[in-house]
Amino acid sequence: MSDVTVQSTLGAMQIGITVAVFLFGAITLQFNSYAQHFTEDRLAIRFLAGAVWILEFAHTICITAEAYRGTILFYGNLTGYTWSPFMGVAILMGGLITMVVQCFFCFRVWRALPFPVRYVGVLCGIASSLRGVGSVYLGSRVIRARTLEEYRKANGWLIRGLLGSGAAIDIIIAIVLLYFLWKKRQTSMSTATRILDHLVAYTIRTGLLTSVTSIIVLATFQSHPETFIWVGAYVVLAKLYTASLFSALNARRHLRDIVTEGTEALSSKALRKRFTQTELGGGPTITIQMNTTVNCDVDIENDLATRRKLKSEEDLHSSTDSFRDRRPLSNIGRQ
């Protein structure tokens, strides 16, 4: 009990809650970016993103309310402090967030990987769902607990099991995805290789971050269960899961840019190759010559010929009329 001090209890919890609130701000920016750039996503994905953000908002309210109780309402009364329903709801929300995010990644494993490796996603999804049920049970136990000591003794085994299983699920998903991406990379072109490299780096970052945090929570709970150091790390864990979800959704924009750049570079390379072949005589060249000539002189000559013809016809008609007029006079003279 010598480790139980204000610094190791309320102080550790306050630090963890402060970091969690900061991460909630970053998550909100990620959610806003997703809502702006991925309006054409399926309704299920958009609903999932909105539901997770709402759960995070409720989680943030609960942990800040608990921080207010511990630092203000129970100021100077550490022995009389016990968790309120706010912390119980926060644990419940954190368990739901973790379950939803892990099931999302398990679904990606199921869709991306070939048979029979894809069933790893199914098994991890079932394990994550059971873990979520256990987290809901722990949250309800916090709400009904009389003292923290009673809660730790009654549910210590379940806390250890949930934290250990969460880390194991994250590690398994990361290893399976890394193996699949590495196999694909060996038979891919340059643009696809760049995309796979980004996916590998992203998988390592997200899977490693959440699994290491889960191990830290488990280690601190195992070594110092009477303190709140593990609580401070646990309230951050849910934020990291949500950040990994929105990072996965928003990373598609960067991957699209890579594909676009690769397509433009390929088109430019093909165009330069075509011009080079034409200049060096390496390929057939088709030349189409188009000449436009305006024959003004011909038109003028045709017009003059037409006028001369008309004048000749007029002269002929005039001569005929004159002959007809002279003929009756000759006849009269004869008579």
Dist. CA 180–CA 176, nearest whole Å? 6
Non-local CB neighbours of 313 within 8 Å, separated by 6+ positions: none
Would you give the end-to-end CA distance of the chain in angstroms?
167
Residue 242: count of CB within 10 angstroms of its CB: 26
83-102 tens-digit pLDDT: 778 888 999 999 999 999 99
pLDDT of residue 209: 84
Of the ranges 77-81, 173-177, 196-200, 320-324, which one carries the lowest mean pLDDT score? Answer: 320-324
What pLDDT band is residue 323 in, cutting at 50, 70 and 90? very low
Contact 217, 237 (CB under 8 A): yes
Statement: residue 196 has pLDDT above 50: yes
The per-residue b/e assignment along 111-147, b for 16 or more CB within 10 angstroms, e otherwise, is: ebbeeeeeebbeebbebbeebbebbbebbebbeebee
Q: What is the mean pLDDT of residues 203-217?
A: 80
Burial of 44 (0-12, 13-18, 19+ CB in 10 A): exposed
| Mean pLDDT (the chain, rounded) | 76
Give the highest mean pLDDT range of 48-52, 103-107, 209-213. 48-52
pLDDT of residue 205: 65
Statement: residue 331 has pLDDT above 50: no
Statement: residue 256 has pLDDT above 90: no
Give the highest mean pLDDT range of 47-56, 74-83, 181-190, 194-203. 47-56
Tokens (6 digits) for 133 = 């049920």
pLDDT of residue 303: 52
Dist. CA 190–CA 203, nearest whole Å? 20
What pLDDT band is residue 299 in, cutting at 50, 70 and 90? very low
Residue 328: count of CB within 10 angstroms of its CB: 9
Dist. CA 49–CA 54, nearest whole Å? 9
pLDDT of residue 25: 96
C-alpha distances in angstroms, 289 versus 102, 168, 309? 66, 73, 39
Statement: residue 68 has pLDDT above 70: yes
Helices (H), the chain: 12-37, 43-68, 85-112, 119-144, 148-185, 190-223, 229-280, 296-334
Q: What is the mean pLDDT of residues 28-39?
A: 92
Fold of 7-273: Rhopdopsin 7-helix transmembrane proteins (1.20.1070)
pLDDT of residue 99: 94
Statement: residue 50 has pLDDT above 90: yes
User: Domains of the chain: which residue ranges?
Assistant: 7-273, 298-328
CA dihedral 267, 268, 270, 274 (to 10 degrees): 130
Percent of the chain scoring above 90 in pLDDT: 29
Task: Collapse the DSSP code of 134 into the 3-class scheme (helix H, G, I; strand E, B; otherwise coil) and give the result.
Answer: helix
Identify which has the larger pLDDT, 8 or 202: 8
13-22 tens-digit pLDDT: 999 999 999 9
Q: What is the mean pLDDT of residues 219-245?
A: 90
What pLDDT band is residue 152 in, cutting at 50, 70 and 90? confident
pLDDT of residue 270: 53
